[in-house]
Amino acid sequence: MTTNNEAFDRARAVIPGGVSSPVRAFGSVGGTPVFVSRAEGSRVWDVAGREYLDLVGSWGPAILGHAHPQVVAAVRHAAGRGLSFGAPTVAEAELAELVRERVPLAEKVRFVSTGTEACMTAIRLARGATGRDLIVKFAGCYHGHSDALLAAAGSGLATAGLPGSAGVPAAATAQTLVVPYNDPDAIREVFAARGAEIAAVITEPAAANMGVVAPAPGFNALLRELTSAHGALLIYDEVLTGFRVSAAGWWGLEQGAITPDLFTFGKVIGGGMPLAALGGRPELLDLLAPLGPVYQAGTLSGNPLATAAGIATLKLADAEVYARVDAVASALSTAVDDALTQAGVPHVISRAGSLFSIFWGVDAPVTNYAQAQTQDAGAYRRFFHAMLDAGVALPPSAYEAWFCSAAHSDADLDQLIAALPAAARAAAG
């Protein structure tokens, strides 16, 4: 047994910031990170044995809750047969079939290990397919940490208030045009000026890395219209929303009304193991090596343990699971809204399907990154620590969604709701 402080000191001595991914370091909320020793269902335990009700959910994958027995059994079974082969497996075809059943536009699927790789590859594929170089992304959207996409990116950069990253050559982002989210005029202007040079628009079809920002009605349809009219591809980055907001992700919530050319998936698709994917129609996906000229590869791509976790997770994530996640998100977001209103804390609850986050100290709906950045991170810091003291682990950033799962029980909701009034008073300052 040790303490979080001791663990943090030990980790910081050998790992930059003590973490393998920046937001975990509690930089924006302050204090000592929770060093997790195990997780089960809706709970995590720290190194000192303290239990927390968890709403980080591994930042998205844990839609069934942590360590679902059938997922763990599938991984154990796979592990017993070998950890990695560097050869194709039937399980990969099975997982690709499961993806295609849910999202038929993902007729072919290539597996990678992270959402970063999936988006990086989707961009390369779009450039290879169109013979064009320009990429359009939206300010505050996050598509992983590849050079070309680290321009006005959300997630950890939003949390730290960074415009971009050192070490990214200007040339790497020179071909990336950044446009405000939910701004029809801005995207129309970009296409009017440079439409013939644009390979693709990559978007989070519902944004969740600048806080949660739903697409304005008609915005995603406009992206489809403009890309089609100008011979560019539309990439739906569903790394976060995919298999989470519905069985078929955000695309499913839109009832398939928009037809992106490419999808990227991550998080839920790997059930907590390192697995991600890109999908689309065969003419595009078959441009990837070995069939086509667009190169992509990975020693651990389609890893058998990760593939087993993904198959088990998708098989378990049925209509009942999605209904439960929706119900938990509704109950929780309403309770937070009530508690903050009662305590007189100015805020906006921002929802997209079962994803929600809170914008602190703002009084109007947030529709883009510039508005998101006006929020009062100090209020969240106080709220976050009051909740942590009450045994609730929230995402350590005001720019992240609260991740609900099917393992959150009514008793969990009661515990959460009971902790809210004191935390709301703390947020009020």
Active site residues: 142, 237, 267
Q: Which residues contact 307 (CB under 8 A, 6 or more apart)?
A: 78, 89, 91, 92, 94, 95, 111, 275
Show the binding pattern over residues 366-385: x = contacts ligand PMP (CB under 6 A), - = does not. Answer: --------------------
Q: Which of 74, 151, 240, 352 binds ligand PMP (CB under 6 A)?
A: 240
Is there binding between residue 239 and ligand PMP (CB under 6 A)? yes
Q: Which stretch binds ligand PMP (CB under 6 A): 28-36, 74-82, 142-150, 244-252?
A: 142-150
Nearer to ligand PMP, 277 or 345 (CB): 277
Find out whether 325 and 63 touch, Cβ atoms under 8 Å. Answer: yes
- Long-range contacts of residues 247-250, Cβ cutoff 8 Å, at least 24 apart: 247/102, 247/317, 247/318, 247/319, 247/322, 248/102, 248/103, 249/102, 249/103, 250/205, 250/206, 250/352, 250/353
Q: Which of 22, 41, 61, 115 binds ligand PMP (CB under 6 A)?
A: 115
Is there binding between residue 237 and ligand PMP (CB under 6 A)? yes
Q: Which of 18, 33, 249, 266 binds ligand PMP (CB under 6 A)?
A: 266
Is there binding between residue 325 and ligand PMP (CB under 6 A)? no
Nearer to ligand PMP, 158 or 423 (CB): 158
Phi, psi of 217 (to 5 degrees): -55, 130
Is there binding between residue 119 and ligand PMP (CB under 6 A)? yes
CB of 241 to ligand PMP, least distance (A): 7
The burial class, CB within 10 Å (0-12 / 13-18 / 19+), for 16 is: exposed
Nearer to ligand PMP, 239 or 358 (CB): 239
Q: Which stretch binds ligand PMP (CB under 6 A): 1-9, 138-146, 322-330, 349-357?
A: 138-146
Show the binding pattern over residues 153-172: x = contacts ligand PMP (CB under 6 A), - = does not. Answer: --x-----------------
CB of 149 to ligand PMP, least distance (A): 8
Both structure tokens of 12: 């910081």
Find out whether 207 and 141 touch, Cβ atoms under 8 Å. Answer: yes
Phi, psi of 47 (to 5 degrees): -65, -20
Interaction residues for ligand PMP, span 198-217 (CB under 6 A): 204, 209
Q: Which residues contact 194 (CB under 8 A, 6 or more apart)?
A: 134, 177
Find out whether 191 and 346 touch, Cβ atoms under 8 Å. Answer: no
Q: Which stretch binds ligand PMP (CB under 6 A): 42-50, 108-116, 162-170, 374-382?
A: 108-116
SS3 at position 9: helix
Q: Which spans of this chain sit near ligand PMP (rule: CB under 6 A)?
A: 59, 114-116, 119, 142-144, 155, 204, 209, 237, 239-240, 266, 276
